[in-house]
Amino acid sequence: MKIAINQNLCIGCALCTSLAEEVFEMKGDKAQPVKGTDLTNKKNYKKAKEAEQSCPVGAIKVFG
Ligand code: F3S
């Protein structure tokens, strides 16, 4: 799994970090993927997909 967060779209609502704190973190007022997270972990994958679908501006893309 690979995660991309469009920094231009992200409005810093922090929904992704509350849905999947193992996968996303805030850096200033933008979200970024947590470094070193096990993206092969099924639970993390599910949460990341949930965040992808929930982001109000569609800034998150989860591949794979
Ligand atoms: Fe940004 Fe969307 Fe997360 S707006 S903070 S990527 S839920």
5-14, pLDDT tens digit by residue?
999 999 999 9
List the residue whose alpha carbon is closest to atom 1 of ligand 1.
10
Q: How remote is the CA of residue 1 from the centroid of ligand 1, in Å?
A: 18
Q: Which atom of ligand 1 is nearest to the CA of 31?
A: 5
| Confidence bin at 27 (pLDDT 50/70/90) | very high
Cβ of 12 closer than 6 Å to ligand 1, yes or no, is yes
Mean pLDDT of 13-38: 95
Token output for 5: 């967060």
Confidence check: pLDDT of 64 > 90: no
| Confidence bin at 36 (pLDDT 50/70/90) | confident
25 and 16 Cβ atoms separated by less than 8 Å: no
**pTM of the predicted structure, to 2 decimals:** 0.94
pLDDT score recorded for residue 13: 98
Token output for 54: 């929930």
Report the C-alpha dihedral over residues 45, 49, 51, 57, rounded to 10 degrees: 140
